[in-house]
Amino acid sequence: MAVFTEVSNTEARELLRRLQLGELVELRGIEGGIENTNYFLTSDQGEFVLTLFERLTAAQLPFYLYLMKHLAHGGVPVPDPRADKNGDILHTVCGKPAAVVNKLRGKSQLAPQGVHCAAVGTMLARMHLAGRDFERRQPNLRGLPWWNETVPVVLPHIGEAQSALLRAELAYQNHVAASSAYAALPCGPVHADLFRDNVMFEGEELTGFFDFYFAGVDTWLFDLAVCLNDWCIDLPTGAHDAERATRMLDAYQAVRPLTAAERELLPAMLRAGALRFWISRLWDFYLPREASMLKPHDPTHFERVLRHRVAHPVHA
C-alpha cells in the first residue's frame, strides 16, 4: 500500500497541463514503497511517476530533486524531475509537495549475481564523481546525530543482548567519527539507501537508480558500505558474500580507487551501514507512524548483519 493520498484524474490532467506534458492517458497507483504516495502517470507524451511526499517537507525536498536533476544531466541514469513553465520542479498536488519524474525502464533485480553487483559498483562510483560539483548541501538526515537521538528511544523496547550490542556499536561509531582517518574520508552527495529495490535493471543492463529521499552529504564510503550490506550478503543469514562483494568493489575502484583512509575504515563503515538500518527498522517497528497500514521491515535482519560485520571484518 503506497497510496496514502488519492489523486483524481482531474487533478492529474491539471498537473500535466501545468508541466506541458500532454494529455492524460492513465493514472495508476503504485503498490510498492512505504514512504510516499506514488502513481504511474501516462500521457500522450510518455510515462512518468508522480510522487506526493508524505513526510518530507518543502524545505528538505529541493536538495533531493535538484540532486536528481544534476545527476541526470551528468549522465547518471536517475529520474529527472520535470519543471513547470516557471522552472519550478517542486509542485503542490492535493495540498502536498509533489514531483513528476520520468519512469525508468526495467525492474528490480532481487536475486543479484556478480554481474549486477559490478554494474551497481560502476554506477555508484560514477554517481559519486558526478555529484562533486553539486552545490546544494544537506546532511544525511539518518546519520550519526540521528542515531544518537534515536537509540535511547528504542532501547526500552529491546532485550538485554540487543541493548548491549546497540550501545556498544553506537559508542564505537562515535569514536570512529572522531578519528583522523574518518576526517580524511572523501565526502559528497550520497544516495544512502541504494538497496536492491532502488535500482532498475533490464537483463544485465542497469537502467537507473531511484528513491533519492534519504540522500544527503556524507562519506562516499558509507554509501558503498550500504550497497555491500544489501547486494553482497546472503539475505537469510546476513553473511558476507565474498564473490559478489569483490565484483562490486573492483568495479567501483575501476572508476574511483579507494583512498588509504577508505581502505582502513571499510570494516567500520560496513558496521555503520548495518547499525543505521538496524536503528531505523527498530524505530519503525516499535514507534510506528500513526495510521500507517504498513508492515515494517524486520529489524533482526540488520542485527544479524551487524554481528557478522563485527565478528568477520571485511577488507578492500
Instruction: Indicate the pairing of strand 199-202 with strand 205-209.
Output: antiparallel
For ligand ATP, what does the binding mask look like between residues 204 and 223, x meaning CB under 6 A?
------xx------------
Question: Candidates 175-183, 199-207, 277-285, 308-316 — which segment interacts with ligand HSE by CB under 6 A?
Answer: 277-285
| Least CB distance to ligand HSE at residue 43 (A) | 28
Instruction: Indicate the pairing of strand 24-29 with strand 46-52.
Output: unpaired
Tell which one of 70, 281, 308, 309 touches ligand HSE (CB under 6 A). Answer: 281
Tell me: does residue 169 bind ligand ATP (CB under 6 A). no
| Closer of 43 and 140 to ligand HSE (Cβ) | 140
Over the Cα atoms of the chain, what is R_g? 20
Element (H, E) at 78: none
Element (H, E) at 108: none
Here the cell at position 257 is: 580507487
Rounded to whole angstroms, what are the CA distances from 138 to 39, 44, 301?
27, 36, 29
Residue 215 CA to residue 226 CA, distance in Å, equals 12
For ligand ATP, what does the binding mask look like between residues 177 and 206, x meaning CB under 6 A?
--------------------x---------
Tell me: does residue 96 bind ligand ATP (CB under 6 A). no
| Partner interacting with residue 274 (select from ligand ATP, ligand HSE, none; CB below 5-8 Å by kind) | none
Here the cell at position 239 is: 553473511
Here the cell at position 163 is: 541493548
Tell which one of 115, 297, 307, 314 touches ligand HSE (CB under 6 A). Answer: 297
| Partner interacting with residue 281 (select from ligand ATP, ligand HSE, none; CB below 5-8 Å by kind) | ligand HSE
| Least CB distance to ligand HSE at residue 180 (A) | 31
Cell 582517518, located at residue: 181
Q: Which residues contact 256 (CB under 8 A, 6 or more apart)?
A: 125, 128, 129, 220
| Closer of 33 and 114 to ligand HSE (Cβ) | 33
With contact defined as beta carbons under 8 Å apart, do 123 and 74 qualify? no
Rounded to whole angstroms, what are the CA distances from 286 to 151, 166, 193, 271, 292?
12, 15, 21, 22, 13
| Closer of 239 and 254 to ligand HSE (Cβ) | 239
Tell which one of 36, 109, 219, 229 touches ligand ATP (CB under 6 A). Answer: 36
Please report, as ranges, the residues that interact with ligand ATP according to CB under 6 A.
2, 30, 32-36, 38, 49, 79, 101, 103-104, 197, 210-211
Please report, as ranges, the residues that interact with ligand HSE according to CB under 6 A.
193, 195, 277, 280-281, 297
